[in-house]
Amino acid sequence: MNAVPEPTELPEPFRCLADLADGPASVERVKRLTEALAAVPELQRWLREQRQTTVRMLHERDGVSYTHIAGQVGVTPERISAIARGHSRSGRRGRRGAGVRDQSEAL
């Protein structure tokens, strides 16, 4: 019989989701986790939209340069400009079910 693997620690930005895994193992818990996984593309879309809106507000309303934002985020000013325009590195933005293909797109 295989040993049950230890669960990995939830990454900091998602600690608010920890209640999905609280409690004893149950079919209801499997159902909640399955529903959350199915909604990941929608979450990614929402996060991209929020990021775009925030970049645009900082730049257009507050006058913060793309260079400054890029330095704080750890990407190039060109990437921040692309985010402001709503461009996705994967080219899959807007397709239902499209998601982040690799960790670099999350930036």
Length of the chain: 107
Question: Which CA distances in Å does 69 have to 23, 57, 58, 73?
Answer: 41, 12, 8, 6
pLDDT at 93 over 60: no
Calculate mean pLDDT across residues 67-80.
98
Mean pLDDT of the chain: 85
**Chain segment 12-38, per-residue pLDDT in tens:** 888 888 888 888 999 999 999 999 999
- pTM (global) more than 0.75: no
